[in-house]
Chain A
Amino acid sequence: MSARRVWAVMEKEILYLLRDPRSLGVTLLLPVVLLILFGYAINFDVKNIRLAVYDPDRTPTSRDLVRALTNTHYFRLVRMLESTREADEVLAAGRAQAVLIIPARFSADLAAGRPTDVQTIINGADSLTANVALGYLEAMIQEWSRRREPRARGASVTPIEPKVRIWFNEDLSSVKFITPGLVVVILMMLAALLTSQTIVREREQGTMEGLVVSPITAREIMLGKLLPYVAIALADVALVALAGRLLFHVPLRGSPALLLALLLLYLLAALGIGLLISAVARSQQVTYLIALIATLLPTILLTGFIFPVSSMPRVLQAVVQLHPATHFMVIARAISLRGAGLADLWPRALALAGLSAAILSLATAKFRKTL
């Protein structure tokens, strides 16, 4: 292998990249844009749930219950209903996400010491929000009820108060959770998509044959084509890490050296996947589709980036262990947020190393054959 010939291929690739500043800009900007979106715009906290209330009781007591719910930032009162039939309308039209129905004898019952029921109807179509709304309503109505309870009658059963403390991400900020995961997704996206695209492009335009008949060996072509993208990927990681640090105070509590070492291991696997795709696809259109289906979507949706792996069906949980990103996702978060070390993470690191080695050797063998 000659460094000069590798450099020649690299130089050509770099020239191609520089001639297209927009593409280069997108590859460098998109990760930061995503980080900013996740940091400022997108979050999972369910707040300001639209609540409509039907209150035929119309007493200070019933109004106090409504205020107890809507004085928080969890619920926002959108409408006082005139009848229970209206509940149907506001829910169907999406004007309200939940409806509270207070019985007409609410305050009378309470004054007489008779237990009473309020009814809540929740739009379950958005199951995530509905789940949270249900939890809030239950807890807040219970809390209101407890405050009214005369000490003497409830004395036989006293409440238990769970004091919850959150470690490692005290404010439950989603951007701290997303940043390490975003690095994992971006590496896979860039490495797999761009490397497969650059090789398929040569083949589509017929310039690969020119390279093959030149004295350059397959390995030199491969290295020369991949190294510029390795550099771009690492620059992206640095940008995301920097933006995460400066804008959102995402910590790096563990060893940076360990994180970098495992990151390189993961990058190798991602490049290998890119090579494998290039061996299967003949046109860039197909490359895009395969990359989208085989790498980007699974990395975003199946490796725990947002949705926990443990919530998936058992079979799927077993299958995703074959994806290097599943392991690196755990590693990246454990090192940066929890300060975990190799002693805690060695099974994951081992799995990642094994997968990278397997994917890369399969990919180089396939790449040689297609040349």
Chain B
Amino acid sequence: MRRRLRHVIRKELLQIRRDRRIMAMLIVAPLFQLFIFGYAVSLDIKHVPLVVCDRDRSAESRELVESFFRSEYFDLERRVDWPAEFDEYLTSGRALVAVYLPDDFSKRRARGETAEMQVIIDGTDMNSAGVAAGYVGALVKHHVERQMRAARVRAPVSNQPRIWYNPDLNSVNYMVPAVICTILATVMTAATALGLVREREAGTLEQLIVTPIRPIELMLGKTLPFAGIGLLDVGLIVLLARFWFGVEVAGSVPLLFLSAALFLLTTLGLGMFISTVSRTQQQAMLTAFFVIIPSVLLSGFVFPIANMPQVVQWLTYFIPLRYFVTIVRGIFLQGVGTGVLWPQFLALVVSGGAIFTLSALRFQKRLG
């Protein structure tokens, strides 16, 4: 059995090597995703273009406006005379935020009343709009605090915030480990499914069946090389995260690999299952897409599960990727081990075992 298995694996590896582009892609894909997620995935915007209409024209209003441009968050697009002009700048997209200070702004403050200012934000991109609104709030707060310090007044209660695990609130730290999850989920599932269907399309699967190779050997032989490449990718990502992005694995690296191997049961099993229900590679690819894209979106990888409607939150328990994302981030960032993560590990074992066994049975039946 060992010898026959070795031959199937060797054949698969030869095939992967012969089409050197597959190999390149299986290596390039994680690198590419890593760099995109490392550099591009962030909601922090800076240099937001701003139009200002300062009707007050006092020393106080000027100081507040200047404090906006001293920060790196806002760039002055234009000073206008009337708020009616805001429309033009916001519609054309030349400005994202407009600020209007009414002519009684400083007078009201001098009288000890609350002064109002008007802030208009283009909500087209609701993320940027939310972030920009946060910046305006923070800058106004700083302005008031500066004045309070100057007047030697202290608020009765102040907050002393501390950030744990990722003190700079760097999105790189959050995103880079998750690339392990997306690579194994997107690339491995589809590559396995397509590889098996191609064999059937080309009619070579039948040839393999009539040889003394048993179905289980065939199956293992076709999936083990991809498992190997998947683990290789994990190693590659861990190394690059450490030496390029400076994100060190806080927990145990062997445990990380163990969880990846467990998750591979799910992805390879799913790939195998898709191959049994698909006649053509196109069908296999689209079916894989249909399963993978929603599960990536619902895994909590970018979009927090806690924000989803309750029904959808229950649904996410059926997505194995969800557990893997939690495990990878837990090990990578918080350095926790099985003591904390055992429920997720258990879920991975159960789901991976079930999916792989079911797919393997179905695969064997299709062969026999």
Stretch of A127-135, A211-219, A361-369 lying at the B interface:
A127-135
CB pair B40 A302 closer than 8 Å: yes
A134 and B161 contacting across the interface, CB-CB below 8 Å: yes
Residue A123 at the B interface, CB < 8 A?
A: yes
Stretch binding the partner chain, chosen from B129-137, B216-224, B252-260: B129-137
Q: Which residue of A is nearest B87, CB measured?
A: A167
Q: Identify which of A129, A163, A302 contacts B118 (C-beta below 8 A).
A: A163
Q: Write out the residue numbers on chain B whose beta carbons fall within 8 Å of the beta carbon of A65.
A: 157
Q: How far is the CA of A369 from the CA of B278 in the complex (A)?
A: 32
> Is A318 part of the contact surface with B, judged by Cβ < 8 Å?
no
User: Shortest CB–CB separation between residue B336 and chain A, in angstroms?
Assistant: 6
**Across the two chains, which residue of chain A brings its CB closest to B306?**
A48
B303 neighbours in A (Cβ, 8 Å): 42-44
How far is B280's CA from A308's CA once the two chains are assembled, in angstroms?
38
Size category, A interface: 35 or more
- The reply to whether A93 and B286 contact each other, CB–CB distance below 8 Å, is no
B232 close to A (CB within 8 Å): no
CA distance A148 to B157 in the complex (A): 9
Chain A residues 296-315 with CB under 8 Å of chain B are 297-298, 301-302, 304, 306-308, 310-313
A165 close to chain B: CB less than 8 A: yes
Q: Is A23 on the interface with B (CB-CB < 8 A)? A: yes
Among candidates B123, B144, B151, B159, residue contacting A172 with C-beta atoms closer than 8 Å: B123
Interface size range of chain B in the complex: 35 or more
B167 and A124 contacting across the interface, CB-CB below 8 Å? yes
Minimum CB distance partner of A334 in chain B: B93
Instruction: Tell whether, in the assembled complex, residue B336 and residue A26 are in contact, meaning their CB atoms are under 8 Å apart.
Output: no
B302: nearest chain-A partner, CB-CB: A306
Q: Decide: B127 and A158 in contact? CB cutoff 8 A.
A: no
Q: Does B354 contact A (CB under 8 A)?
A: no
Q: Shortest beta-carbon distance, A160 to chain B, in Å?
A: 5
Residue from A23, A135, A170, A280 in contact with B283 in the complex, judged by beta carbons closer than 8 Å: A23
- Show the binding face of B for A, using Cβ within 8 Å: 19, 21-22, 25-26, 28-29, 32-33, 36-37, 39-48, 64, 90-93, 108-109, 112-130, 133-134, 136-138, 140-141, 143-144, 147-148, 151, 153-171, 173-174, 186-187, 190-191, 194-195, 198, 201, 279-283, 285-287, 289-290, 293-294, 297-298, 302-304, 306-309, 312, 326, 329-330, 333-334, 336, 340
Shortest 3 CB-CB contacts between residues of A and residues of B: A169-B123, A124-B166, A289-B25
Give 11 new A-B contacts, CB below 8 A, not counting A119-B162, A160-B117: A30-B290, A41-B298, A42-B308, A43-B307, A110-B157, A167-B120, A177-B124, A204-B198, A283-B22, A289-B21, A301-B37
Q: Which A residues are within 8 Å of any B CB, using their own CB?
A: 20, 22-23, 26-27, 29-30, 33-34, 37-38, 40-50, 65, 91-94, 110, 115-131, 134-135, 137-139, 141-142, 144-146, 148-149, 153-170, 172-174, 176-177, 193-194, 197-198, 201, 204-205, 280-286, 288-290, 292-293, 297-298, 301-302, 304, 306-308, 310-313, 316, 330, 333-334, 337-340, 343-344
